[in-house]
Structure 1
């Protein structure tokens, strides 16, 4: 897309290998001996011990070339089925599996047979280099993309097989295979290039002496330029100071005309001549201008793609004043050279303001302007057959005629009743109405019809189209002037309104997509939202594929039920692995109707999105909006990944915090009872026979109490682990709360000491759906907490009652209570109050898990738990005591009369 440049992500989906080296044997034309020289050099490398393999070499029946293949490992070619024929092509997969030390691939610009993975052989070479394979290849200078127009003018032949110039610049080595044009023509005459009959025709056409001389100059100059680029690179790499020719910046202006591709190639050639100067290709959109047709949009899209292939940067500008917009951009970006095309429009184009080249030359200051004229050898534009032209809409013209008819009726009425009435003003009003409502052309037709009617009915001589005086002719000119002014103004306002509507619709679509994507919580939801938004924007099918292990899988599609074939999945995997746009309209696997774009986020590729490109016009507003949405989707998918990672990190952090608190608790709460048990048991073993019975009984009691305490603590840890891990199994049954309360009171009876438990239960109590075991354990934990914080001689009250919707359990103690600031955190894990001054400190309160476990059990049964403190008047006049309330919901509410 314009204003975007693909960047290699920091992290790739595949491990990066060292890129293979490329050596190009460059010649001025066929027959100079490129393949022969490549094979000779390869034999020398093989003699040195290098693993040399011939991937594909075209000998064209030359015996000298065929003799050099002896002793070299030649790969068999792979058959490609096309229209019932089997075509033999270079076996790319076989070469990747073989991975030789050096691979020979002849004819760099060759076009592969339909059905191959890549349309061009140079793309096969790029894949080999990405896999770490060194490649030698051959190339004729006429196959460079930027020289296509130059070769056409020199030889009269347009080259269909071309190679992007950036590939030659990126080559590690270039060896020019050069002979003089006279020697080449001599070889041609001797039959060493073509068979005699073909050689005679070639000698009279392509291989003319002046053609070969020009081609030789181009080859030598291009090779020298590449060598100079490599020298500058090494100088910069070593920090050698010097005058760099980096001050030139080139801006190529293109539109939707037939010269766009030619202008892009011209910009590339100028960049080469100016020491590889940075260059960009710009198109100016006029908000008030008419919307470009599908053909112009397609040409513009092709020009941008060509610019990217040749190393340029596409830019889209916006402004009504094209010249001012271009010059402002040039000044902001330090552009020194502007390239613009001049089509054959004549002086009419200059008079109407369409000759941008002339206007740019007049207003440019400090910038060199290069005007490229349309060549005679340009390919003719296909004409539209009359039967294919869209039908003319007659409604605006009919409306204009209606306005003139109404004006005529009013004029006839006024003419019969009044004298000396300026009836021309009435017709002028009709012309203005036609121009305001329908635009320029209907206004001109209405103006002509109004004048003819006015002249025929009301001007002397009446009922004749003769113009009686010069003032009548001025009336016609006035009508036309008004029609031109109002029509042009109305058309401009209408186009501005349409452009504003398009921009508002695009902004609204992007805003809605942004909100939808931002609301998605996970990758699957984000992918589905992205597919739906892209499909709606493009008006075609859309899919999103996300990584799953080492592969990508179809995660979301719009509309539902879209199935990708094997060719589409191959293109999608290629886009994911290599970070390239693949599929329809691209240079990689173009036979599929889908076009796949890697979703490149900030940190790396998040997935691949595909658009059914066969249903979307290239360069259309729909396509650009869909691509913009895909860019948003990449960020949204990455955000979903980050959100998931943040949640996972938070879970790990909480687990680490729980583990740390658990270890701190274990260090004391396990060590203390174990030390007591160990000390008491050791004393009994060593001195049991000499101890008094009451001492021995006290030691045994301590062992039992500490073992029970240790058992309770381990049980609490296991219960909390179940709660934290989500492994709690709730087995609900109809439960009488009073049974669970009585069982819990009995379990803690031995730990009451001199405390007592009172029970306050109604004779009738509704049953609830709960887990009796969990409910009993929750009450036991609360009772143990009350025992731990209540002094001896106090009472713990255990009560139950019900209201309309729930059964409530109340557990009250007479301890010192809970400070108000602590009430909200009393159910937190490892939350323990300081030791009470009312009791001995030798019995600590536990690990601080009891109330947290009780809360977890109660909430697992859909209940609620809360604490209130203080609730009693203390003996010192202060407040004390705590009440824990458990509320369990009823399945069916009780009628108030039954309570």
Structure 2
């Protein structure tokens, strides 16, 4: 009897999904195949009925398209004000998602789900607005045409010749809780177009000649109905799983083909393919791992060939593990709603069917509501080549060990008999010996132990002694029980060993994949990723491995792949390997040795397929090439290739994103620099041009005016030169082209040079320098440090009034030198202590001080950072600003005589 208890994992997942669904709003989609079929009209009619039934209905956005019927249905419904967005000189009306969230109705109507919002809206697409409303718990009704489904974009373009730009992701369409199809015949739609009910007359004629051709409409209508039918099938399958139905629901056919080593399987696969095509139904090719078949290379190869044949014919291939073939297949069929099972039946002698029930008989007995189709094949051994069995090798050691166990049991039983122990306990000793042999060894030694135990018990413990005759026929039952228990335990033990071995194989494959994934996640770069994967595959398979990668972006790799790992292997040096890797990458199919495609290649080539494209191949060569084509090995190799492909793709995308971000930041800095310095460059150049033109027009006797103009030219030229020096310096610092030329310097000399450099700016200020009498030498770049003090002094001169006091002081303690530049001016604006070091940040300078470039303090911070120090700014408690420089002192400075 088929169990009906639901799967706990599926039950838990369903409960979690229902919990998430309860918090989300409900989405209803009015679905059609083209504009004009009446989706909006049907939605408004349903909304009016809902409002009459007592629901709170609000119109978020509906496009009437100038149709009187639509406008009449809108009358009387509460409508939210639209958001007006100005774009390209035109004011556009858009759906206001914020107003909808603030209003928070029970049901809101949002027309045209695939609409692209105007720039300036919160979301680029209207379906994103709808998704936000659903997450907020608001129910939404919307409209959608089939050509806007993203996965159908290429198909629609091929049919109509028009590329649809506005698309909706399939997941949005699939998350709809209800789908209502609005459908009219194409002839009626064309009639509505000609009558002007969809578009205006001129637009309607152009539409009929292009997109709205009858052939296009028929194809679009079929696509929409198929999408609706697929959606209904998904709902039926969900309902079946929720009801925990054991039997399939035959709302649509789903075929399953039993794949085995029998030659008849190929005919079964072709027959199932023909019926699946006639029924337009999906079909599966399923094989069950069996220890007897797995140990025979020819049988395993035949199973792999049959699975590849099914894949070429369009089936989904699955490999299962189970104790019984029929039970495993039936359990999988019921779980996946299979309605028809195809199995091959060879002509076998009747006596063989009497001795042992086959898979066909077990499928027929346990199929229940599932139809079983028997495809008759040739008899085994006649007209077909039988699968060779494993080489016969008698395990003499196991037979000898079984004999020894029975001998020990016989001695123990004899001792019990001498102690007058009951005869039933003596039998238990032999039974224990048989059970131990059956558990420890294979079936043959277990049968041998059963037979020997029966003979020993009959000869030595049953009257008449030392004879095979039995006086009491009841002992025949004892003999039979010993034999049956031995066979039963050996059979169960063999199954247990098989399951254990299959579990170990699966565990090894899973562990190998886990190690590969963990290793790839911690690396970056094509060479390192490919090297780690190649080394892992080489150690796991024990053969040669070569990995080919196409250079460039994986999203559009067109170049032939090149060897990245395994340059010195026989695979890489073979002349066929390069073209084989290119073919595999181009066609995204396995090829090479042991397959029907490029069989002369030296290895098996597996494509490296990422989420966007195929950009390489893995080549593996082992001694037994057929082993890699077995279903489990092939699946493991494909999983390894998939992990490597995703890792390489992720790494390349991360590098592309980093490059794009760097280019964007560089472009932003360049744009900011140009916009910031354009005015600064224009001002001194205009002053120089004006002064020089005035000089040319002056009379020779105007000596005083001439001198003033020359001074203006000189001052503005100096200012322009300083600005250009700052720009050049910040550019060199950004490019990393500045490296400090450190030497031993006296701080007093560096500050003195800066004071001389800024003397023209400080002539209206009082500058005081307080340095300790004994200062250690500084191991710094004197020119760069001089520029730091020059920029700080220039900044103080620009932002403090005339006759202000500027103080430069220094203290040395421990291994750090602290230099402060303070003033008694207005200080820094509140909150700008860190912003003053940003590029192009400028405060309010004195009217007569000129306009700064906004780069001086940024240069100071960059230079001090090159020396391993820090610079900060703060307001003094008594008023004014204070800039503090902290520089590390070098160990063991040279001694200088004090002058």
- Tell me if TM exceeds 0.5: yes
Q: Assess if the C-alpha contact under 8 Å between 2:592 and 2:601 holds in 1.
A: yes
Q: Assess if the C-alpha contact under 8 Å between 2:293 and 2:299 holds in 1.
A: no
Identify the residue that residue 838 of structure 2 maps to in structure 1.
Answer: 828
Identify the residue that residue 569 of structure 1 maps to in structure 2.
Answer: 578
Identify the residue that residue 514 of structure 2 maps to in structure 1.
Answer: 511
Query: Does 1:628 pair with 2:639?
Result: yes
Counterpart CA distance in 2 for 1:446 and 1:698 is 125
**Equivalent residue for 1:847, pick from 831, 848, 853:** 853
- In the TM superposition, residue 874 of structure 1 has moved relative to its aligned partner by 0.9
- In the TM superposition, residue 605 of structure 1 has moved relative to its aligned partner by 2.0
- Quick one: structure 1 residues 286 and 711, their matched pair in 2 at CA, closer, same or farther if it must change by over 3 Å? same
Query: Does 1:674 pair with 2:685?
Result: yes
SS in 2 for 1:869: strand
Identify the residue that residue 367 of structure 1 maps to in structure 2.
Answer: 371
Identify the residue that residue 757 of structure 2 maps to in structure 1.
Answer: 747
RMSD: 4.0
Identify the residue that residue 605 of structure 1 maps to in structure 2.
Answer: 614
For each residue in 1:692-743, what CA deviation from the matched residue of structure 2 results, as whole angstroms up to 9, or x when unmatched? 83x76555444433322222221222222223334x0426443326354443
- Quick one: structure 1 residues 334 and 822, their matched pair in 2 at CA, closer, same or farther if it must change by over 3 Å? same
Trace 1:98-137 onto structure 2 (pairs within 5 A): none
SS in 1 for 2:837: coil
Task: Say which is worse superposed, 639-648 or 881-890, in terms of deviation.
Answer: 881-890
Counterpart CA distance in 1 for 2:540 and 2:349 is 41
Task: Say which is worse superposed, 292-301 or 753-762, in terms of deviation.
Answer: 753-762
Counterpart CA distance in 2 for 1:265 and 1:489 is 36
Query: Does 1:256 pair with 2:261?
Result: yes
Q: Assess if the C-alpha contact under 8 Å between 1:336 and 1:367 holds in 2.
A: yes
Query: Does 1:725 pair with 2:735?
Result: yes
Q: Assess if the C-alpha contact under 8 Å between 1:759 and 1:797 holds in 2.
A: yes
SS in 2 for 1:758: strand
Counterpart CA distance in 2 for 1:561 and 1:771 is 58
- In the TM superposition, residue 823 of structure 1 has moved relative to its aligned partner by 4.4
Query: Does 1:865 pair with 2:870?
Result: yes
Trace 1:157-236 onto structure 2 (pairs within 5 A): none
Query: Does 1:380 pair with 2:404?
Result: no
- In the TM superposition, residue 650 of structure 1 has moved relative to its aligned partner by 0.5
- Quick one: structure 1 residues 847 and 456, their matched pair in 2 at CA, closer, same or farther if it must change by over 3 Å? farther
Counterpart CA distance in 1 for 2:824 and 2:261 is 90
Question: TM-score, normalization: structure 2?
Answer: 0.63
* Structure 1 segments unaligned to the other structure (5+ residues): 1-232
Counterpart CA distance in 1 for 2:461 and 2:796 is 113
Counterpart CA distance in 2 for 1:664 and 1:653 is 16
Q: Assess if the C-alpha contact under 8 Å between 2:261 and 2:302 holds in 1.
A: yes
Question: TM-score, normalization: structure 1?
Answer: 0.63
- Quick one: structure 1 residues 697 and 312, their matched pair in 2 at CA, closer, same or farther if it must change by over 3 Å? same
Q: Assess if the C-alpha contact under 8 Å between 1:766 and 1:802 holds in 2.
A: no
Q: Assess if the C-alpha contact under 8 Å between 2:778 and 2:889 holds in 1.
A: no
Counterpart CA distance in 1 for 2:832 and 2:408 is 88
- In the TM superposition, residue 850 of structure 1 has moved relative to its aligned partner by 2.3
Counterpart CA distance in 2 for 1:520 and 1:576 is 24
Query: Does 1:486 pair with 2:489?
Result: yes
Task: Say which is worse superposed, 654-663 or 753-762, in terms of deviation.
Answer: 753-762
Trace 1:374-773 onto structure 2 (pairs within 5 A): 374-375=378-379, 378-381=383-386, 383=388, 389=391, 391-394=393-396, 396-420=398-422, 422-438=425-441, 440-548=443-551, 550-557=559-566, 563-612=572-621, 614-616=623-625, 617=627, 618-619=629-630, 621-686=632-697, 693=704, 699-726=709-736, 728-730=737-739, 732-736=741-745, 738=747, 739-753=749-763, 754-760=765-771, 763=774, 765-766=776-777, 768=779, 770-773=780-783
For each residue in 1:580-630, what CA deviation from the matched residue of structure 2 results, as whole angstroms up to 9, or x when unmatched? 433212334321221223322222222222222554412153332112111
Counterpart CA distance in 2 for 1:583 and 1:520 is 30
* Structure 2 segments unaligned to the other structure (5+ residues): 1-214, 231-251, 553-558
- Quick one: structure 1 residues 584 and 291, their matched pair in 2 at CA, closer, same or farther if it must change by over 3 Å? closer
Identify the residue that residue 881 of structure 2 maps to in structure 1.
Answer: 881
Q: Assess if the C-alpha contact under 8 Å between 1:400 and 1:446 holds in 2.
A: yes
Counterpart CA distance in 2 for 1:809 and 1:455 is 110
- Quick one: structure 1 residues 683 and 484, their matched pair in 2 at CA, closer, same or farther if it must change by over 3 Å? same
Q: Assess if the C-alpha contact under 8 Å between 2:810 and 2:817 holds in 1.
A: no
Counterpart CA distance in 2 for 1:894 and 1:374 is 102
Counterpart CA distance in 1 for 2:335 and 2:456 is 56
Counterpart CA distance in 1 for 2:751 and 2:356 is 96
- In the TM superposition, residue 572 of structure 1 has moved relative to its aligned partner by 1.6
Q: Assess if the C-alpha contact under 8 Å between 2:348 and 2:379 holds in 1.
A: no
Counterpart CA distance in 1 for 2:770 and 2:563 is 64
SS in 1 for 2:573: coil
Identify the residue that residue 143 of structure 1 maps to in structure 2.
Answer: none
- In the TM superposition, residue 654 of structure 1 has moved relative to its aligned partner by 0.6
- In the TM superposition, residue 372 of structure 1 has moved relative to its aligned partner by 2.3
Q: Assess if the C-alpha contact under 8 Å between 1:744 and 1:780 holds in 2.
A: yes
- In the TM superposition, residue 366 of structure 1 has moved relative to its aligned partner by 5.2
- In the TM superposition, residue 300 of structure 1 has moved relative to its aligned partner by 1.5
**Equivalent residue for 2:344, pick from 341, 345, 350:** 341
